[in-house]
Amino acid sequence: MDGSRRFETRDMTRIVAFAAILAVLGIPGAIPIGGSVPITAQTLGVMLAGAVLGAWRGAAAVVIFLVLVLAGLPLLSGGRGGAGVFAGPSAGYLIGWIFGAFVVGAIVRVGGRPPVWWRTAVGCFVGGALVVYAIGIPVQSAVTGLGLWETITTSAAFLPGDLLKVVAATVITMALWRAYPRAFGNPTRLRRAAS
């Protein structure tokens, strides 16, 4: 809760829970979406991991998830997995998730504070979209051999979907904060940080 890097048992199982949630969000049809908005729910999971668990634990949940993908479990959306995805064009986005979750947590939970809606929205946008692009696009450009600027142009297609995810992550985080504040850590410590 205080940004310390030593994880207690409760932190460990929360990291495990979020790593598993990331996997479940990749199961096709796991999230019922009204209409036909193309949402890969796993980026939403990355934003939520950072916002709920905070920087270090959020990033740890993403690392655990990605290690299992590397180890050969087909946990990415569309049943992808294995070492091959870390050699393909989307490798940078996957690594970007780790730093993305960290930045989301660092902004949303700055100083161990509970979430407020505007900080959650800014954090999810900067961490979940900008940071992921900043690492993903150069790697994609290097792997595919397409120029950096052309890659940026083709990646712009994902921006509307990511903005939707920022909105969804913010709404979900604030709803979770009202419904189950314990999710965000020790209640007394949270109250102290908020005041």
Partner 1 sequence: MISLYRPGDSLLHRLPAGPKLLVVMALALGVSLAPADPWTLTGAALAVAACYLLAGLGAVEIARQAYKLRWLVLVMVVSQVFFLPALTMAANVVRVVVVILLANLVTLTTRTEQVVDAIERALTPLRRLGVNPSRVALMLSMTITTIPVIAGFATQIREAQRARGVPAAPLAFVVPLLIMALKHSDDLADALTARGID
Q: List contacts with partner 1 (CB under 8 A).
A: 5-10, 12-21, 23-24, 27, 30-34, 39, 41, 44, 48, 52, 64-65, 67-68, 70-75, 81-89, 142-147, 150-151, 154, 168, 171-172, 175-176, 179-180, 182-183
Q: What is the DSSP string of the chain?
A: --S-SPPPHHHHHHHHHHHHHHHHHTSTTSS--STT----HHHHHHHHHHHHH-HHHHHHHHHHHHHHHHTT---BTTTB-SGGGGTSTTHHHHHHHHHHHHHHHHHHTGGGPPP-HHHHHHHIIIIIIIIHHHHHHHHHHHHH---HHHHHHHHGGGHHHHHHHHHHHHHHHHHHHHH-GGGGS-HHHHHHHH-
Return the number of the residue (67 or 116) whose C-beta is nearest partner 1. 67
Which of 80/195 has CB closer to partner 1?
80
Helical packing angle, 9-25 and 55-70, nearest 10°: 50
- C-alpha 171: how far from chain center: 15
Tell me how far, at minimum, the Cβ of 69 lies from partner 1, in Å. Answer: 10
Query: Least Å distance between CB 138 and partner 1?
Result: 14
Looking up tokens 């668990």 gives 53
Nearer to partner 1 by Cβ, of 126 and 143: the residue is 143
Q: Minimum CB separation from partner 1 for residue 58, in Å?
A: 13
Q: How far is the CB of 90 from partner 1 (least distance, A)?
A: 9
* Identity of the residue, 86 or 99, whose beta carbon is nearer to partner 1 in the bound complex: 86
CB of 128 to partner 1, least distance (A): 15
Q: Which is nearer to partner 1, 110 or 143 (CB)?
A: 143
Q: How far is the CB of 137 from partner 1 (least distance, A)?
A: 13
Q: In residues, how long is the chain? A: 195
For partner 1, the closer of residues 87 and 195 by Cβ is 87
